[in-house]
Amino acid sequence: MLSLLRSSGRLSSLGRSSTHLPTLHPSTSLNNIHRFQPSSRTQIRHFFSWRRGRDSFPSFTSSLTRLRSQLRKSTTLRVEGGNGNLENLKKVMNGRLTLPGTKSSCTVAEAFGHASFALVALSYSFEDPLLLRSLAVTGSSCMLFFTYYHPHGKPLWLPWRWNLIFIGVNLWQIGGLLEERYRATLMSKEDSRVHKNYLSEFDKTDWAKLVRIGERGKLDTKEVLFYQGVMNDTVSLIVDGELECLVDGERTYVLKPGNFVAEAGLHAGASVKGDVKTSGTVKATKPTTIIKFNRAELCNLLEANVSLRKSLQSRLSWDIVSKLKLQRHALENGGIKADAKKWTQKRNVQTEQRYEALLSAFIKNGTISPRDRQVIEKYRSIHVIEEDVHLRALKGLGWTGNQYKLGHQENETSIKRRAEIERRNSDLSL
């Protein structure tokens, strides 16, 4: 049969026809694979039925092997195609940057690292909390790129995760700040007017916080806000109108819009959350509008908001100057009818009573802390409270100078015994 085929030339023609079969080159793209695929099952059976002539198609079998390899590679690329962008980003991060005019260079990832530290350092130079935290978030975000595409070739997961936490915390704080600024835009026109005219040194968000804990009130002409010698637990701000302060029935000064009433040492950092004894009677000379703040709520708010505390202390310091100017103006223009000598005596009495009331609020529990003593000393320095006035106030409250220095009340016998023991110890040491 084989000789018959050879004689008839059919086998040789079959061999020649094999040269017309398609040959796949390794560089053949996947988009052209369909050109070499059989169009029907019959062609497939016909194609692979030439077992005896398999060796006659070496180019086809090698091409088929290469095609199988290409199909495997194409499948891998399709599965991992999502990482293509990450690989490109990695190449970008590993690219080098050269500073103009120098030979110094660094990778893009290292540039992100430098930018991170620079932004975080820069953020500490701003007092605006929103800008500070925004720079902190930007700096931490740059650090994410540096730690993930680290020059050593492996991500540093520990700092990467911590920076992610820092970003989350700062974003939460930024959200709170944006909410506060939005709520500040919801203030009434009247509150905005008070802020613009009298308290412009306050940040608008701080003023909005203060307004939210305040309560508006109105006083008719000659209506009393509080009497002399009573316990008062509020701090008031005059919005419209006028108030006068009386000590034993004599006017000592007047209060205008923008002035605070009964601040009780807040300008010196005193945080008295209870009642404070008043040093004079305050009443309206015309229809007056005020905003009243509960002292305990106000102190809690100031402790939680540093910027608000600084703004209020600054404002109260100017408030003292304003009251002194109003006193001088009242004396010069007949607003205070008493003679200067008598008025000075009343003012001195009021100053001593106010100081004794503040001191009483600090030592009413029988103790006083070192920090509270510092606040008292600051108040004395601002208002020029002499030592004899200080000792006289302590005596009126049942304290002595030694007890005040020790920070708690103690009977004189114990004080003398301790002093004797200290003297003996000093003699022994000598």
Q: For residue 221, what pLDDT band results from cuts at 50, 70 and 90?
A: very high
**Contact partners, residue 157, CB within 8 Å, separation at least 6:** 147
**Contact partners, residue 406, CB within 8 Å, separation at least 6:** 415
Q: For residue 138, what pLDDT band results from cuts at 50, 70 and 90?
A: very high
pLDDT digits 0-9 by tens, 276-313? 889 889 999 999 999 999 999 999 999 888 888 888 88
Q: Contact, 157 vs 163, CB < 8 A? A: no
Answer yes or no: is pLDDT of 60 > 70: no
pLDDT digits 0-9 by tens, 404-417? 888 887 665 666 66
Answer yes or no: is pLDDT of 75 > 60: no
| Residue that wins the pLDDT comparison between 52 and 402 | 402
Answer yes or no: is pLDDT of 76 > 50: no
Answer yes or no: is pLDDT of 228 > 50: yes
pLDDT digits 0-9 by tens, 143-178? 998 898 888 878 899 999 999 999 999 999 999 989
Provide the pLDDT for residue 307. 84
Q: Hey, what amino acid is at 238?
A: I
Provide the pLDDT for residue 284. 94
Nearest Cα to Cα of residue 171 among 144, 148, 140, 147 = 140
| Integer Cα distance of 110 and 89 in angstroms | 14
For domain 189-338, give the CATH number: 2.60.120.10
Proportion of the chain in helix, strand, coil states, percent, rounded to 5: 60, 10, 25
Average pLDDT over residues 250-269: 86
Q: For residue 346, what pLDDT band results from cuts at 50, 70 and 90?
A: confident
Indicate the length of the chain as a whole number: 430
Provide the pLDDT for residue 163. 92
Q: Hey, what amino acid is at 199?
A: L
Report CA 266 to chain centroid distance, whole Å. 24
- What Cα–Cα distance (Å) separates residue 151 from each residue in 102, 314, 397? 21, 51, 71
Answer yes or no: is pLDDT of 28 > 60: no
Provide the pLDDT for residue 225. 93
pLDDT digits 0-9 by tens, 36-47? 444 444 444 444
CATH 2.60.120.10 residue ranges for the chain: 189-338
Provide the pLDDT for residue 16. 42
Answer yes or no: is pLDDT of 342 > 50: yes
Provide the pLDDT for residue 257. 92
Q: In what order do the strands lie in the sheet with 243-247?
A: 224-226, 281-284, 243-247, 250-255
What is the pTM assigned to this prediction? 0.63
Nearest Cα to Cα of residue 63 among 20, 31, 33, 25 = 25
Residue 89 burial class via C-beta count within 10 angstroms: exposed 0-12, middle 13-18, buried 19 and up: middle
